[in-house]
Chain A
Amino acid sequence: MKKRVFLDGLLYGIMALSLCGVIAVLGYILVYIFRQAAGSLSFGFIFRSAREGGILPMVVTTLYVVVVSIAISLPVGIGTAVFLTEYSGNSSLVRILRVAIETLAGIPSIIYGLFGLLMFCRFLGFGQSIIAGAFTLSIMILPVIIRTTEEALKSVPVSFREGSLSLGTTKSQTIFHVVLPSALGGIVTSAILAIGRVVGESAPVLLTVGLSRNIPRTVFESGRTLTIHLYYLTNEAVNPDDFGIAFATAGTLVMVVVAINTLTKILTRKFKNSQGDAS
């Protein structure tokens, strides 16, 4: 019995240690980045142009890419999720659709980059541009949006739909006026998750959006997102202070990710609460 207690304690210790280790590594990465960035990172850093050592053009390009890819992907993703939850029986179309979404979710991002390069940059003639990158990324984030939205739609109680239908509305009216509004929180969450993916993505963006450092005027121009700026700075490091700027960019990216994570969590909690109240 004593041996058992000892063994349990040992295992407990190992497990606790490994979790602490993982969190410590995380902490170390964060501390390392922010300590190196300390010299360069400031509020003005985000709003200065690249020649003055700032990252304004990259912030603008990243925003462009995010807005355009979400604008393309969100309606399609919501439409697909509605089809899957509200209309689908067990037809072969649904099975194909499910396999397609699963497969899309598993494709490595560099393959999306190759595809975007072939289809949008070369075949459709957009060249390396924000629009080509946004199209590519919008396909990449589609599975994320579909899955999360589907979960949200599923959690809308059947009684809502039945109530609405019993009042004589049609199915599409029920969807637009009852189901979608009640699932709004989940839909917003899915959009934020997708934004997180777009902001953090690098390989496909390098292949489709390019590296140009100017502030883009239109979506047909090439640009450089924050992740690509970080990659390029670490690679080129032409000026000695480039590493400081690279760390500051990394710090900015981490802060964006933290903000997105927090926002998602708050929204999910709120959404769950309102669901709880309703049912």
Chain B
Amino acid sequence: MNRKYADRFFQYFFRMVSLVSVLALGAILIFVFAQGLMPFVGATAPGIRLVVQNIGELAVNGRVYRNVPDSISLEEDARFISLRFPSGDAGEEVVDIEVNADERDARKRLVFARNPSAKVSYPEAYVVTLGWPGLMAGRDRKIHIILPEPPYSPVEFIGGMQWQPVRDKVFGVFPMIAGTVLASLGAIFLGVPVALLCALFMAEFLADRPAAFARGAIELLAGIPSVVYGFFGLMVIVPAVKNVFGIAAGNTLLSAVVVLALMILPTVITIAESSMRAVSLSLKEASLSLGASKMQTAWHITLFHAHSGVIAGIILGISRAVGETMAVILVAGNSPQLVFSPLESVRTLTATIAMEMGYASGRHSEMLFSIGVVLFIMILALNSLILRLRRGMDVV
């Protein structure tokens, strides 16, 4: 009896354990999407915030702060900001500001009722700083008025050409999407023909021992960490590109393409070769007996019948190139511009995430997750292609 319960227990146990993968995928989707969609849904803060430096006593909209906190949040629908604080010579500084919430241009949203004695500056988008000379040198009195950033338009995000995350707070990722696509396609054009020649040669013409040796070498190529490729690219390929083409810097799309092509070779070769080996012998024999040469058989029969496996290998290679990060950072130059020549500096989606994560704050940081979402969707599309191909292969 006990044994029966144990059996039941283990059945449910294994089922529960297997759910971990599903849950993990769900968690990844929820966390990354929730964070990445945030900038498009809501404003960065409910209302205007004031950050005060070196001012001991301050009245905001009639409310007096004796120990001024570091930051003061105004009500959400505040239409008016009235600042009063004692100036040095027993007088009072008075600043009255109207908030024009409907104004789309953030710079024009604050209207000063009369010219304030303060120096007004715009250190970054959505921030207005009022400054008075301090009583001591280096102790300037400042009030920063931080306006909430409205939800960002997804169209401007995907289609935007400018990536100026810090000062202007403009987040356009189209150049990076283009960079990722160009680098991956370039790697495919350069890498796949070589990979297919190698795979066909290994599957059809090499004897067992040399084929095993070649396979071992290619597995080693697959096992080298991507940072090593990037480092190799930085020290060898980047200077070579600079010297061959006589350009100012060798950190270019072309360097990234060469490194990525090297990195996808093993993936494509391994998958293509195993699907070529799976082509049934009788097909090849039939072809040979009809008088076709071994080479003709290899190209027309083996390659043709292994095509779905070959395509799956290519797509897997693309997804490896799209997802590659560290190697690309080291060789691509990382300028967020739209490129029209392979000899220009280019930046990919993944590079942006890894480079800027440590430095980003606020919406900039959320936007890096939004880039992650874009990447995710690209990869999911590629994956569903592979799944469909697999299904096709099973039927055949």
A touching B, CB within 8 angstroms: yes
Which residues of A pack against B, CB within 8 Å?
A: 4-5, 7-8, 11-12, 14-16, 18-19, 21-23, 25-26, 29, 32-33, 75-76, 79-80, 82-84, 86-87, 93, 96-97, 99-104, 106-115, 117-119, 123, 139, 142-143, 146, 170-173, 175, 196, 199-203, 206-207, 227, 230-231, 234, 246-247, 250, 253-254, 257-258, 260-261, 265
Q: A106-B319, A107-B376, A234-B234 are in contact. Are A146 and B21 (CB under 8 A)?
A: yes
Complex Cα distance A79/B235, Å?
A: 45
Q: A15-B201, A202-B226, A234-B330 are in contact. Are A108 and B379 (CB under 8 A)?
A: yes
Q: A8-B294, A22-B218, A261-B219 are in contact. List 20 more A-B contacts (CB 8 A).
A: A8-B296, A11-B299, A12-B205, A16-B205, A26-B218, A83-B14, A106-B383, A110-B353, A114-B372, A118-B369, A146-B21, A170-B6, A175-B10, A202-B325, A227-B227, A230-B231, A231-B326, A250-B227, A257-B223, A257-B224
A170 engages B7 (CB within 8 Å): yes
Dominant secondary structure of chain A at its interface with chain B: helix
For this complex, 20 residue pairs linking A to B, each with C-beta atoms less than 8 Å apart, are: A5-B293, A8-B294, A16-B201, A19-B197, A29-B224, A79-B13, A79-B18, A80-B18, A82-B14, A106-B379, A110-B325, A111-B376, A170-B4, A170-B6, A230-B225, A234-B227, A247-B231, A250-B231, A257-B223, A261-B223
Interface core residue of B198, B299, B324 (most chain A CB under 10 Å): B198
B231 engages A234 (CB within 8 Å): yes
Binary interface profile of B, 51-79, with partner A (CB < 8 Å = 1, else 0)?
00000000000000000000000000000
Say yes or no for B200: interface residue by CB 8 A criterion: yes
Q: A87-B11, A101-B21, A206-B354 are in contact. Are A111 and B28 (CB under 8 A)?
A: yes
A108 engages B13 (CB within 8 Å): no
Question: Which residue of chain B lies nearest to A199 when distances are taken between CB atoms in the complex?
Answer: B225
Say yes or no for B134: interface residue by CB 8 A criterion: no
For the complex formed, measure the closest distance between the CB of A84 and the CB atoms of chain B, giving whole angstroms: 7
Question: Which residue of chain B lies nearest to A176 when distances are taken between CB atoms in the complex?
Answer: B10
Question: Which residue of chain B lies nearest to A27 when distances are taken between CB atoms in the complex?
Answer: B217
Q: A97-B18, A111-B28 are in contact. Are A200 and B223 (CB under 8 A)?
A: yes
Query: Number of B interface residues, CB 8 Å?
Result: 80
A111 engages B372 (CB within 8 Å): yes
Question: Which residue of chain B lies nearest to A8 when distances are taken between CB atoms in the complex?
Answer: B295
In the complex, which residues of chain B have a beta carbon less than 8 angstroms from the beta carbon of A99? 387
In the complex, which residues of chain A have a beta carbon less than 8 angstroms from the beta carbon of B386? 102, 106
Say yes or no for B158: interface residue by CB 8 A criterion: no
Binary interface profile of B, 247-290, with partner A (CB < 8 Å = 1, else 0)?
00000000000000010010001000000000000000000000
B200 engages A15 (CB within 8 Å): yes
Q: A118-B32, A257-B224 are in contact. Are A18 and B198 (CB under 8 A)?
A: yes
Question: Which residue of chain A lies nearest to B325 when distances are taken between CB atoms in the complex?
Answer: A203
Say yes or no for B27: interface residue by CB 8 A criterion: yes
Complex Cα distance A159/B332, Å?
A: 56
Say yes or no for B301: interface residue by CB 8 A criterion: no
In the complex, which residues of chain B have a beta carbon less than 8 angstroms from the beta carbon of A107? 28, 323, 376, 379
For the complex formed, measure the closest distance between the CB of A36 and the CB atoms of chain B, giving whole angstroms: 8
In the complex, which residues of chain A have a beta carbon less than 8 angstroms from the beta carbon of B375? 108, 110-111
For the complex formed, measure the closest distance between the CB of A80 and the CB atoms of chain B, giving whole angstroms: 4
Nearest 10 CB-CB pairings of A with B: A108-B323, A79-B17, A172-B10, A200-B225, A15-B201, A8-B295, A257-B223, A83-B18, A80-B18, A83-B14
Q: A22-B265, A108-B322, A261-B220 are in contact. Are A102 and B353 (CB under 8 A)?
A: no
Which residues of B pack against A, CB within 8 Å?
A: 3-4, 6-7, 9-11, 13-15, 17-22, 24-25, 27-28, 31-32, 35, 194, 197-198, 200-202, 205, 214, 216-221, 223-232, 234-236, 262, 265, 269, 293-296, 299, 319, 322-326, 330, 350, 353-354, 357, 368-369, 372, 375-376, 379-380, 382-383, 386-387
For the complex formed, measure the closest distance between the CB of A86 and the CB atoms of chain B, giving whole angstroms: 8
A11 engages B295 (CB within 8 Å): yes
In the complex, which residues of chain B have a beta carbon less than 8 angstroms from the beta carbon of A175? 10
For the complex formed, measure the closest distance between the CB of B51 and the CB atoms of chain A, giving whole angstroms: 24
Partner of B214, one of A19, A102, A111, A247: A19
B17 engages A76 (CB within 8 Å): yes
Complex Cα distance A7/B31, Å?
A: 57
Q: A123-B31, A142-B21, A142-B24 are in contact. Are A4 and B225 (CB under 8 A)?
A: no
Complex Cα distance A265/B324, Å?
A: 27
Question: Which residue of chain B lies nearest to A86 when distances are taken between CB atoms in the complex?
Answer: B14
A227 engages B319 (CB within 8 Å): no
In the complex, which residues of chain B have a beta carbon less than 8 angstroms from the beta carbon of A76? 17, 20-21
B326 engages A202 (CB within 8 Å): yes
In the complex, which residues of chain A have a beta carbon less than 8 angstroms from the beta carbon of B379? 106-108, 111
B376 engages A231 (CB within 8 Å): no
Question: Which residue of chain B lies nearest to A75 when distances are taken between CB atoms in the complex?
Answer: B17
For the complex formed, measure the closest distance between the CB of A60 and the CB atoms of chain B, giving whole angstroms: 18
Question: Which residue of chain A lies nearest to B31 when distances are taken between CB atoms in the complex?
Answer: A118
In the complex, which residues of chain A have a beta carbon less than 8 angstroms from the beta carbon of B25? 100, 103-104
For the complex formed, measure the closest distance between the CB of A33 and the CB atoms of chain B, giving whole angstroms: 7
For the complex formed, measure the closest distance between the CB of B65 and the CB atoms of chain A, giving whole angstroms: 32
For the complex formed, measure the closest distance between the CB of B372 and the CB atoms of chain A, giving whole angstroms: 5
Q: A79-B18, A110-B325 are in contact. Are A8 and B354 (CB under 8 A)?
A: no
Question: Which residue of chain A lies nearest to B206 when distances are taken between CB atoms in the complex?
Answer: A19
A108 engages B236 (CB within 8 Å): no
In the complex, which residues of chain A have a beta carbon less than 8 angstroms from the beta carbon of B350? 108, 110, 203
For the complex formed, measure the closest distance between the CB of A187 and the CB atoms of chain B, giving whole angstroms: 15
Question: Which residue of chain A lies nearest to B269 when distances are taken between CB atoms in the complex?
Answer: A22
B228 engages A119 (CB within 8 Å): no
For the complex formed, measure the closest distance between the CB of A81 and the CB atoms of chain B, giving whole angstroms: 8
Interface core residue of A15, A29, A254 (most chain B CB under 10 Å): A15
A102 engages B383 (CB within 8 Å): yes
Complex Cα distance A26/B3, Å?
A: 56
